[in-house]
A and B are shown apart, each in its own frame.
Chain A
Amino acid sequence: MNKLLSLLTPALLLVCSRIRRAKAHPTAALLLLVSALLLVWAVLPGSAAAEDAKLPPGKPAEPKMPAIEIKSIPDADNYCIQCHTQLDTGDPKDQKFHIPLESLKNDVHWQKGVRCQDCHGGDPSVQEIKAHQANDDFRAIKSPTDIPNFCGRCHSNIEYMRHFNPSPRTDQLAEYWTSGHGKKLKKGDPQVATCISCHDQPHGNAIDLKPHGIRPVNEPASPVYHTKVAQTCSKCHSDQKLMAGRLYKDKPLPCDEYAKWSKSVHGEALLKKGDLSAPTCNNCHGNHGAAPPQMDSVANACGSCHGKIGRLFAETKMRHKFEKEGLPGCATCHSNHEIRKPSDDLLGMQNGTFCARCHEEGKEKHGATLAGAKAAETIHADLEHLKNGIHEADKTLTEAEEKGMEVSEPKFHLQKASDSLTNARTQIHSFKVNVVQTALADGEKVVKEVQGKADHALEEYQYRRYWLAISLVPILMVIGLLILYIRAMPIPEKPVDS
């Protein structure tokens, strides 16, 4: 503080001298005075600014978290464990409180050394029922509504979580309260997903003592491991009974999302090919803050993976038109859960194409134009042209290769045309004919070159056969003449001296 004052004193003196000079301008003098007063307030002891100024520069104040006391006690002396793991007596009353040790061993908390008292409180050193009331800090879960805060007590505490991970994630609880689940739970609906519904399936929301096998998220056996997320969500979202009567934006919640997604290009990639980069529910909806993407954020959700397409779409007029019409961006054409692998046949104005849904003459919807229909037809025709060109060039190359001609270099080069086609398919999302045509032009050039080389290889093969026939003629003639000469040539007897 003293250092700060020593710095500010000359500044105040300077302000005062300016006030003297500014007498001729009362407004300026007033402004300078207010500034000076603010400066003085800033350094007064007890002011908020002064409190901040106490901190070293560049270090903002940290939010205060309630400290969590870690009660370390050997498992052998921990009566919570001793009692609750041995209550497998067969008596339903006891059974309710029985926690199998095998289940605990899979639990991430158990593996990290977190024991009963760390979550539930109480005194583990007391072998009496009163242990549950010791110090009045025993925490029981009486209803699903208790669960988020119960877990969040530790999982939202940065300092505590740092014991287990140097850069822990602690926003799950905050996210949860923004999710569809969290909002409904706050309204008192107990039939919604809470932490254990997903993290400790198959126990789900059962409020008994069983949910003690919460596996690490990155463990393949965890119900929230990437390949298991969709099945976990579907436990509730495919349950017709559970979904009955539930609404989203005044429309009934469907329960066929999992069935649709598992048939989609994403579902097949993840479930059949084991492609861990394929998205599952939480990649579009979020996990702790699970909620459907809004109409205007669908493209951003898709764009988080399909970045280039997302950026192209964001710059189009179509995007604004979609937003105006209340159409859900990418999902307008590609649907949401049942996203099939797109093909060029879905483009253009023939029956069943995406474009024809809105641009069909006489049946235009959502302000679609005929110019758009023409653009779709042109783009489709141009794509087909390059595709056919690649196919023809490849066919000719294969024919030449089967004849033993060396065409590995043009074959490799042809891949560039395929790359160009892929790029053009991406550029479709700009909805501009010239952009797509520019992307296709490189491929067309490559196809022309490769087709030329492939044709040349076939010509060369024919040329070789032709010249083989021509060269065999003199060879056979020489052989014939030699044979004639040999036949006419007498074989002399051995000289007498031999």
Chain B
Amino acid sequence: MSPAKPENFQPERAQPEDTGKPGWKEAVKGFFFERLGLDGVAALAAHKRVPIHSRSLFYFLGGMALFLFGIQVVTGILLSLYYKPSPDQAFESVRAIVTEVDFGWLFRSIHSWSANLLIGVLFLHILTTYIMRAYRRPREFTWLTGMALLGVFMTFGFSGYLLPWNQLAFFATKVGTAIANSVPVVGKYLLLMARGGEEVTGDTLARFYALHVVILPLSVLALVGGHLFLVQKHEMSVPEDMIKKYGSAKKAPSMPFVPHFLLRDMVGWYLALGVLAALAALFPWELGQKADPFSSAPPGIKPEWYFLFMFQALKHLPGQLFGIEWLEGEVVGVLFFGLLGLMVLLVPFLDRGAATGRPRRVLNFFAVLTVVFFLYMTAWGVLEKPAQEQPAKTPQTTADSPEGPPVKGTP
């Protein structure tokens, strides 16, 4: 049985006749190829192919994430030209960026929107990788680097959220960093490390800024480098059913990455650019009010949507589970999410039947449960109206409560 051919599949065109004398294009190309050693890259590009099947759209997510990261780098560099990381000036400098700097509003809005789209794309990328079981041998480390990248980008989001030093971000950071205190044994040290002291202050802002513009970008470069290397090394994963259908991965239909897949990638990138421009112009990212550390927490403080599922769960966990004094709800919640993260990280190793193609029913059950839990808690968090009478109904820990242990769900 011969493999199915794509609809517009045609034999390669005949190459023009070699006259023996290189034209100017070849001369320029030769100049750079010789000096930069681009032959290897060209060979890799020529060699790289992307499988064609009903879920081929999934392959675009990685490239889309990379494109959005590029947008983040460019807009981030432009914002850093005007941003001043100090509690006295941070808010004012962001306000100046959006009101006084030419196109500052555009870059700030695109930076914020793009960051959120990027996290969304990363979630989908990981989910589709799971669905296609693309993490199976020998791509376990590709999965691990991908998960590390998700962690880094979420930290990017968390640190960037505080930088405008507005009221919502300040208190959300206060609550967010306080959660670290619930980690058994090392919680206190984690909190001190995150805040740079007991409280969220200018020191916190300084280290979040350093994290956001130096530490995390360098980490991303290293991790993306490793991730892309592994993707090239092991080539694009072909779904199991395709392998079964065509006998081997190599026999499955595919298209060259350059230029065929790259051109399709570009369509997605242009679409993303249009969507970002529309979002920035029609829904400029809000700045809010300047943080006032001495005021009470404003009603309805919540983190960015990708942390909302954890925030919502921790918020509604009772102070003591099952009335047992030592079973603190928040500690249990933090441990649960830690365990959940570890499980997701170790999926390639937990899926024991990946090599033989055995179904992964138990893993799928937990995966569906996790996705439903994530969607439900996020929707709940988004739709929940802030309690006007109890503005500070947020998870509290001993770090924020000098009187003693935290009382769940109390102001």
Contact = CB atoms under 8 A, between A and B. Distances in A.
A10 to B, nearest CB: 70
A468 B278 contact: yes
Contacts of A498: 47, 49, 250
Interface stretch (A139-147, A287-295, A321-329, A483-491): A483-491
A483 B283 CA distance: 29
Given A406-B287, A408-B287, 10 more contacts: A405-B284, A467-B281, A468-B282, A472-B277, A475-B274, A482-B270, A490-B11, A492-B10, A492-B255, A494-B49
Contacts of B286: 404
A409 B10 CA distance: 62
B282 A465 contact: yes
A493 B11 CA distance: 7
B10 A476 contact: no
A469 to B, nearest CB: 9
Interface string B5-24: 01011111100000000000
A406 B52 CA distance: 47
B99 A486 contact: no
Contacts of A493: 9, 11-12
Interface of B: 6, 8-13, 47, 49, 52, 95, 98-99, 105-106, 250, 254-256, 259-260, 263-264, 266-267, 270-271, 273-274, 277-278, 281-287, 289
Nearest to A407: B99
B270 A491 contact: no
A464 interface: yes
A479 interface: yes
A491 B260 contact: yes
Those 6 A-B pairs whose CB atoms lie nearest each other, nearest first = A490-B10, A404-B284, A468-B281, A464-B281, A492-B12, A475-B274
A307 B271 CA distance: 66
21 contacts: A406-B284, A406-B287, A409-B99, A464-B282, A465-B281, A472-B274, A479-B270, A482-B267, A486-B260, A486-B264, A486-B267, A487-B8, A489-B8, A490-B10, A491-B8, A491-B9, A491-B10, A491-B256, A492-B255, A493-B9, A494-B254
B347 to A, nearest CB: 30
A471 B282 CA distance: 14
Contacts of B47: 498
Nearest to A403: B284
Nearest to B106: A464
A413 to B, nearest CB: 12
Nearest to B290: A408
Contacts of A406: 95, 98-99, 105, 284, 287
B220 to A, nearest CB: 27
Contact of B11 (A409, A486, A492): A492
A491 B6 contact: yes
B79 to A, nearest CB: 15
Nearest to A467: B281
* Main DSSP-derived SS at the A contact region: helix
Interface in A404-449: 404-406, 408-409
B98, B250, B282 — most chain A CB neighbours (10 Å): B282
Contact of A479 (B98, B271, B278): B271
A478 interface: yes
Interface of A: 403-406, 408-409, 464-465, 467-468, 471-472, 475-476, 478-479, 482-483, 485-487, 489-494, 498
B260 A489 contact: yes
A483 B264 CA distance: 8
Contacts of A468: 277-278, 281-282
A498 B249 CA distance: 11
Nearest to B284: A404
Given A406-B95, A408-B289, A483-B267, A490 B278 contact: no
Nearest to A477: B270
A397 to B, nearest CB: 13
Contacts of A491: 6, 8-10, 52, 255-256, 260
A464 B95 CA distance: 18
A464 to B, nearest CB: 4
Contacts of A467: 281
A396 B8 CA distance: 56
B206 to A, nearest CB: 24
Contacts of A486: 260, 263-264, 267
Contacts of B105: 406, 464
Contacts of B287: 406, 408
A409 B95 contact: yes
A243 B12 CA distance: 115
B41 to A, nearest CB: 18
A483 B282 CA distance: 27
Nearest to A471: B277
B99 A482 contact: no
B252 to A, nearest CB: 10
A411 to B, nearest CB: 10
A409 B96 CA distance: 10
B9 A490 contact: yes
A482 B269 CA distance: 11
Contacts of A405: 284
A492 B47 CA distance: 12
A479 B263 CA distance: 10
A475 B269 CA distance: 10
Nearest to A476: B274
Given A406-B98, A406-B284, A491-B255, A472 B278 contact: yes
A485 B8 contact: no
Contacts of A475: 270, 273-274, 277
Nearest to A483: B267
Nearest to B270: A479
Contacts of B289: 408
A18 B224 CA distance: 112
Nearest to B264: A486
Nearest to B49: A494
B263 A490 contact: no
Nearest to B92: A409
B2 to A, nearest CB: 12
A485 B263 CA distance: 9
